[in-house]
Structure formats: C-alpha cells, structure tokens
Structure 1
C-alpha cells in the first residue's frame, strides 16, 4: 500500500518534471522569436518544433495526473509545486502561440522587403 507521503512525493516528482520540460520548451520559443527576428524563419520554425517536443513531455506528465484523478478516481494531493507546474504549463503553451504569431509577422515583414 502506498502512503500519503509517498503519493505526495511522486506528485512532486511529476511536478518538477513538468516544470523542467515546459521551461525548456519556453526557452525554445523565446529563441524562436529571436531567430525569426534575425530573418531565419526556417530556423525559427525548427525551434518551435523542438520546443513543442519538450512541451509534449510535460503535457504527458500532466495528463498522467489528470488520468489518475479522473479515470482511476484517485484524488491527487494538493501541492503548491503542482500548482506552479500547471501555471508554467499554461504559460509555455500561451508563449508558443505568441511565438508562432511573431514568426508569422517577421516572415511577412521579410516578404515585403
């Protein structure tokens, strides 16, 4: 039988995994904007793709927790680090959308020059 402390420890490990992977994704998205700003649209889109691969790792870990709660009917223990992980997940996802829009804008500017 798994104790409540062991459950919380596993959830915290997953939360740290989410934070690390989506943090890496966000860094890729920031670099994508900088790459597009330098005129390398193809490179910028590659950075988005790399970031999305990282993001998906964090998203999969998050889905594991959601599945545990919804399908297995097992409550996930509240943890401030888990709240932070979810916040970082949403921020990275939002940043990806913004980065893609920036790349599109830089691409249009390049086409007009």
Structure 2
C-alpha cells in the first residue's frame, strides 16, 4: 500500500525535476535559435551582428550546460534522478544545440572568408 506522504513527496520531486528539465530545453533551444540567427546575419554580410548573436547563443548554451551539470551532480551516478522521456528530450536538445553551434561557427568563418 502506498504511503500518501511518499506519493506527495514523489509528485513534488517529479514537478521540481520537470521545471529543471524545462530550463534545460528552453536554454538549449535558445542557443540553437541564436546560432541560426547568427548564420542568417553572416549570410547577409552582417558579421558584427552574427558575432553578437553567437555570444548570446554561447551564454544560453552555458546555462543549459550548467543545468545539465547540476542534474548529473545530484544523481551522482546512483540513478536517483528519475529517467523520463522529457529528460531524454532535453538531453537531445542540448546535444543538437552544441552541434549546431559548432557547425554554424564554421559556416560563419567561411562566409567571412568568401566576403
């Protein structure tokens, strides 16, 4: 039989984890969006604006990575953190954002060389 206190505590922990995970998704998505906006500016020859957007992208990615690190530290490799589809989704967002930033950086450099 379930203890109502344990159920309430589990629900509270799930809600807290979801809030943290949403922060990861939002920041990773912002990082990717800013990177693609920077690429658009670079294509137009606006390299100063592109660099400003890439700086903004880096800051958002740093925040997402900070959140990820916090989750890892709290889990300590013990499996304490509940693995959910939303957490996997958040990790996917972070990794694709990191890759997008790396590729966009290279593309901006190429556009600068061409111009």
TM-score in terms of structure 2 length: 0.87
Aligned match for 2:43, one of 37, 47, 50: 37
**Cα contact 1:35–1:43 (8 A) shared by 2:** yes
Where do residues 71-110 of structure 1 align in structure 2 (5 Å cutoff)? Answer: 73=78, 75-110=80-115
Q: Distance in 2 between matches of 1:42 and 1:105?
A: 15
The runs of 5 or more residues in structure 2 that have no matched partner are none
Structure number, greater radius of gyration: 2
Quote how far apart the aligned CAs of 1:82 are. 0.6
Question: What number of residue pairs does the alignment pair up?
Answer: 109
Aligned match of 1:57: 63
Q: Distance in 2 between matches of 1:89 and 1:40?
A: 27
The runs of 5 or more residues in structure 1 that have no matched partner are none
TM-score in terms of structure 1 length: 0.89
Displaced runs of 4 or more, over 4 A = none
